[in-house]
Amino acid sequence: MEQVLPYFAQGEVVKGFGRGSKELGIPTANFPDSVVDHLPDSIGCGVYYGWAQVDDGSVFKMVMSIGWNPYYQNKKKTMETHIIHAFVDDFYGSNLKVVMLGYIRNMKDFSSLDELIQAIESDISEAKDKLDEPSAIMYRDHNFFRSSHNNI
């Protein structure tokens, strides 16, 4: 499957299913349907890595799940971003900017919650390593993250 990366996206952080923090201990920031619906067909479901910024704050490493999350049997496609940083408060309503740089794995079902959590922790570890590479670091300082309101 051909991927068109890097891919830049931004939108308001909306409430998701509330599972990331509560069930998984891995909070996610969710994009609204309007952002999900504009994903190019060339970006398939799966787990991606890249950089993320909330409002005009610092740029942090992230992993993103795109799809229907088979474990939870979602009825609609989502883009759920886990920013690899400990935020003190929720930031619903904030502007989230992401650049997706690479693909980690396909969406798949898991036999248990523990198995899902282990896979996500593995995704986070892989993302951290890949984002330390010079070809990825250069995107942390991309102009996309410097301007307040990009129309990408």
> Do strands 95-105 and 78-83 pair parallel, antiparallel, or not at all (unpaired)?
unpaired
Known active-site residue 80: yes
CA dihedral 16, 17, 20, 22 (to 10 degrees): 130
**Helix, strand, or coil (residue 20):** helix
**Nearest alpha carbon to residue 64 among 80, 41, 85:** 80
CB-based contact 28:15 (threshold 8 Å): no
Distance (Å, rounded) from C-alpha 54 to C-alpha 62? 12
**Helix, strand, or coil (residue 65):** strand
Catalytically annotated residue among 80, 115, 126, 133: 80
CA-to-CA dists, residue 56 to 31, 100, 110, angstroms:
17, 18, 36
Residues tagged active-site:
80
